Amino acid sequence: MSGQAYGTYPPAPEEPGLPIGVAILAVLIGIVGFIFILAGVLLAAVGIGLGISFPAIGAYGGLIVGVILLIIGLIILGVALGLWHQRLWALVLAIIVFGVYFISDALVGAYFSLGAIIALVLVIYLIAVHRHFV
């Protein structure tokens, strides 16, 4: 025998932890989501204030844009939490968003910008660490 008592099992393999790159990306995406939420709330409040002070401008424009930014911010924050908790849907959504950003930047610009290069690197990285997501 190999030193194990009869009827015992070897220890289970450790679950893969959160890769440091995914943790950093989740925090940065969370910060962006928080900024969108803050901008949405402020824009909605200012839009309502301008609509009350200047009825010709109307409160609904700022309010609508503010609510849209708020919803987008909540979605972005949800993706950040999904990446942090290693959810597969968040990985797929992040790959799609970064991929679309890379393709749109490549089609619009005659050259690849730094943002497009970063998006491509993030897509490649997220595909490389996909085994950590459930």
Dist CA 87 CA 83 (whole Å): 6
133, 94 Cβ separation under 8 angstroms = no
State whether 24 and 46 are in the same domain. Answer: yes
Instruction: Give 1-37 pLDDT, tens digit per residue.
Output: 555 567 677 776 665 689 999 999 999 999 999 999 9
Residue 78: inside a domain, yes or no? yes
Q: Tell whether 53 and 107 lie within a shared domain.
A: no
How far, rounded to the nearest angstrom, does the alpha carbon of residue 107 sit from its chain's CA centroid?
A: 23
Tokens of 56: 């010709």
pTM of the model: 0.75
Structure token pair of residue 66: 């503010």
pLDDT tens for each residue of 44-85: 888 777 665 555 555 577 788 888 999 999 999 999 999 999
Domain housing 73 = 19-85
